[in-house]
Structure 1
Amino acid sequence: MSLSRTKRISSSSSMRSSSGSRRLSGFGPGQGGFTGVSLSSSSLYTGSNGHHHGLGAPLASLSVNKSLLAPLNLEIDPSLSMSRAHEKEQIKSLNNRFASFIDKVRFLEQQNKMLETKLELLQGQGVGRSNVEPLFEAYMAGLRRQMDLVNNDKTKLDGELRNMQGLVEDYKHKYEDEINKRNNLENDFVILKKDVDSAYLVKADLEDKVGALTDEINFLRNVYDEELRELQASIKDTSVVVQMDNSRSLNMEQIVAEVKAQYEEIAARSREEAEAWYKSKFDQMSVQASQFGDELRIVKGEVAEVNRLISRLQSEIEAVKAQRASLENQLAEAEERGELAVKEAKARTRDLEDALQRAKQDMARQLREYQDLMNLKLALDIEIATYRKLLEGEEDRLGQQSILNIQAVSTYSTKSTNGYHSNSSSPAPKLLIKTTETRDNSRYSTH
């Protein structure tokens, strides 16, 4: 049912009400009576019980004596006019509400049509996969690949770290072994240095002894020469004395020669023994000095070799320390890079999960809104159907009872003889006549 039809019904009802009021306006208090009652296409007749009934056939106009009629005081029922006004206002408010509902229904129908179109488009796309999900999946797959690469790099770096730790441990053990060797060599060096010092002291003592023996030999040689000179001098004196004692008839020359030979033999033997002892001592000291010199040279060579080994080990230790520091720095940087990459991957994963959660929440919110709109549409459809039924019922009621005329008529009971009315009349109570016009323009009256 449209809004124009409702307005047409209300306007026709108002016109009929005004016509009914105009029809009854002739019975005001200023009139002395009435000459007749016109009921348009239907008339009244009085039955045996005194009630008037509407007939389909027209009746002749009723002649009434004006002198017998008393003035009537007819008024329209105020409750009826108030109910009519209330019905008009209610119909207006219903029309306004219905118009607003119509606009709202049109808007909701447009929204519903748009949502149905979107739903058809979404259903026509396949299994409901949007274009955003493949992008998210591709991005997440890329992030997973990056995470796998990072994990592989981390595994590789962990292996390299373990290898480096093994190398560091090996170098550490080597370093400790070299430190132990160095300590042992330093101990050996100290021992050898002590031996060298003792050998040097022995050499110095031997040199001092050689000097002392040389001085002693020289002193003994001088003493021997002096004794030899004294002996020669004494022999010479003895020979003089012997020459003086020729009276004894001794062979002094032979004796002197024997003594001289004996002393010379003793001196030669002493000289030989001294020279042999000195030579043996000198040879022994020379041998010992050469041995000590050889040992000193060997010790000096060993000390130089130990010093070179110590310097080489120190350089190797410094290189190992530098390599260890570099490996530790590389390991720390690799761990930082790995942790940073893992943190970035986790952050990206969290961002993607948050974005996916937000997308799911938006989708759920849109579905809820769509469900709310569908529920609202269903409620509005139900309300519209209810109002349609109410309006159709009201339209049927107004169609069956569109014009209502109420008349108050004073009736008199008359006695007729041979078709003439007598002059005697008795007043009767007032009668309310309600004339109703139906949809097919037929009228019926009730009282």
Structure 2
Amino acid sequence: MSGATERTLPDTSKQEQGGGNGISRYGRLQREMEKNNSQGQIPSHFQDQLQHTYTSQQKRIMSSTFSMRSYSARQPSFSSMSLRDSSGSGGRSRSKAPVSSLSSASTLSLSRSLSMGNGLNVLGTLSSLNGMGVGASDKETMQGLNDRLSNYLDKVRSLERSNAELELKIKQLMLERTPKGHDIEGMIAQAHAIGQEVRKKILENARIMLEIDNAKLAADDFRVKWEAEATLCQSVERDCLALRRAKSDHDQIIATLRGDLDSLKEELYFLKKNHDEEMGSMKARMANEQVNVEVDAAQGPDLGAIMAELRSQYEGIARKNKEDSETWYLKKLESVQSEVKESGEVLRCAQSELSERRRFLQALEGELDSLHKQVGVLEGNLRETGHKYALEMDSLQATLSQLEEELSQLRLDMQRNKTDYEQLLRIKQNLELEIATYRRLLEGEEVIKEMPPPKKEPEVRTRKIVKVVTQTMINGRVVDESSEVEQIKESKK
């Protein structure tokens, strides 16, 4: 009995030390809770429960330490050896650690469980330990510990299932948050089709402008030809006026010649009449006198023959002059008439061509006016289409910005869910470490392992620059290119 009493004294001192270690470890527990709370590792809805559990369990530790001290005083030889002797199982060998060391190890496990924020029911563990210290058998204690361990593993499995459910919900939420109403590919295809139509309109406008330029050049050519024809027509009209003046002059000359001819005819008539009268008077005088005078003298000239010869000469000269005048007049008249006829034909041709050119010019002017109106309408349609497409591009840009904001929000949600998942994973790992520690405690070992501090998340800065490049292409060639920066965002995570 004395030897047993001597063995129990160190056990009692160890028990006291274990109780002190339990109280000091609860102080460390409070400091770890404050540290974890300052770092944001313990969720807010666990803090009140942990504080309440901490205060209640501190009181129970004090009472259990007092009861263990009194029980150690009443039965000083309660150890693993006495348990082995009382159970009668000689094959079981345990370490000689007293119950107080087991209580302190359980208190250490409790402090770690509270520092990790697992929210386990420590009150049941302490009550089972107190019951074991009061007088429960080793088998019942192991059965209770196995039940607690099974409950603990069930809670771990339930946490794993809840983690899986949370992951499934996160995936479903991500699938639901996927923007279905905003089909950017369809909008991009529509914008591409609209761009193709705009390019076609631009090409058609360029073709129309080319046709307008060609029409302007043709109109200029016709205007030059019309001016040349107008100049030619004016020269022909001047020639016609000159010919009319020449005709009037020739008419005057013809009238003068006709007057001269009439005067000559009258003079000839009067000469013939005078000659006939003189011949008649001379014949009558000669018949009345009938004097036969025979003169032996030289015969004088024959006046009748001379007069007849002179008459014939003058008549020939007059006839020749008349014929020459009539021939010259007829030739001149024919030439003037032919020139007048040719000038009239040329004038009629010029007038007809001028009227035709005027009609063609009027048609070209009407076509040019219609082309100008068509160009104005096409330019108005082009401006309206450009304004419409600019509004659509603005709406698409706003939709794209909204989708990018939603995407950034989804990324933030994913990052937050990832952080929550990592916290749950760390809690799970800590629970697994607690299970392993609990198993080692059941085997009689005490392991104190420092948990590494949580890693600090790196600071991520995101800077976004949207650059819009606008190119204008005609016939496959870039004729205009402009670029502008739409928006710049900078965010920190």
Distance (Å, rounded) in 1 between the aligned partners of 2:233 and 2:345: 15
| Counterpart contact for 2:222–2:361, Cα < 8 Å | yes
> Residues 224-239 of structure 1: matches in 2 within 5 Å?
224-232=264-272, 234-236=274-276, 238-239=278-279
Distance (Å, rounded) in 2 between the aligned partners of 1:343 and 1:228: 114
C-alpha displacement of 1:294: 0.8
C-alpha displacement of 1:308: 1.4
Aligned CA distance change for structure 1 residues 5 and 252 (closer, same or farther; 3 Å)? closer
Distance (Å, rounded) in 2 between the aligned partners of 1:365 and 1:12: 43
| Counterpart contact for 2:229–2:354, Cα < 8 Å | yes
C-alpha displacement of 1:189: 1.6
Distance (Å, rounded) in 2 between the aligned partners of 1:107 and 1:314: 99
| Counterpart contact for 1:185–1:306, Cα < 8 Å | no
Whichever of the two has the greater Rg, that structure is 1
Query: Residue by residue, what CA displacement relative to the aligned partner does 1:291-311 show, whole Å, maximum 9, x if unpaired?
Result: 111111111111111111211
> Residues 203-214 of structure 1: matches in 2 within 5 Å?
203-214=243-254
| Counterpart contact for 2:233–2:347, Cα < 8 Å | no
Residues 1:353 and 2:428 aligned together: no
C-alpha displacement of 1:184: 2.7
Distance (Å, rounded) in 2 between the aligned partners of 1:376 and 1:289: 125
Aligned-partner residue type, residue 363 of structure 2:
R
Distance (Å, rounded) in 2 between the aligned partners of 1:13 and 1:343: 76
Task: Give the counterpart of 2:233 among 145, 169, 193.
Answer: 193
Distance (Å, rounded) in 1 between the aligned partners of 2:239 and 2:284: 64
Corresponding residue number in structure 2 for 1:389? none
Distance (Å, rounded) in 2 between the aligned partners of 1:226 and 1:131: 138
Distance (Å, rounded) in 2 between the aligned partners of 1:180 and 1:318: 15
Corresponding residue number in structure 2 for 1:157? 198
Task: Give the counterpart of 1:146 among 182, 187, 194.
Answer: 187
Aligned CA distance change for structure 1 residues 199 and 283 (closer, same or farther; 3 Å)? same
> So what's the TM-score if we normalise by structure 2?
0.49
Corresponding residue number in structure 2 for 1:172? 213
Q: What is the root-mean-square deviation in Å for CA atoms of aligned residues?
A: 5.2
C-alpha displacement of 1:255: 5.0
Corresponding residue number in structure 2 for 1:295? 346
Query: Residue by residue, what CA displacement relative to the aligned partner does 1:214-273 show, whole Å, maximum 9, x if unpaired?
Result: 322222223323432443355356537855995999765555554444433332332222
Aligned CA distance change for structure 1 residues 119 and 250 (closer, same or farther; 3 Å)? same
| Counterpart contact for 2:240–2:340, Cα < 8 Å | no
C-alpha displacement of 1:137: 5.0
Corresponding residue number in structure 1 for 2:222? 182
C-alpha displacement of 1:287: 1.0
| Counterpart contact for 2:163–2:421, Cα < 8 Å | no
Task: Give % identity.
Answer: 19
Corresponding residue number in structure 1 for 2:320? 269
Higher RCO (Cα < 8 Å, 6 or more apart): 1
Aligned CA distance change for structure 1 residues 239 and 365 (closer, same or farther; 3 Å)? same
Secondary structure, in 3 states, of the residue corresponding to 1:129? helix
Aligned CA distance change for structure 1 residues 129 and 267 (closer, same or farther; 3 Å)? same
Corresponding residue number in structure 1 for 2:164? 120
Corresponding residue number in structure 1 for 2:377? 326
Aligned-partner residue type, residue 171 of structure 2:
R
> Residues 34-433 of structure 1: matches in 2 within 5 Å?
119-124=163-168, 129-133=171-175, 136-140=178-182, 142-176=183-217, 178-232=218-272, 234-236=274-276, 238-239=278-279, 255-368=306-419
> So what's the TM-score if we normalise by structure 1?
0.53
Aligned CA distance change for structure 1 residues 12 and 360 (closer, same or farther; 3 Å)? closer
Distance (Å, rounded) in 2 between the aligned partners of 1:331 and 1:215: 77
Aligned-partner residue type, residue 215 of structure 1:
A
Aligned CA distance change for structure 1 residues 135 and 171 (closer, same or farther; 3 Å)? farther
Corresponding residue number in structure 2 for 1:419? none
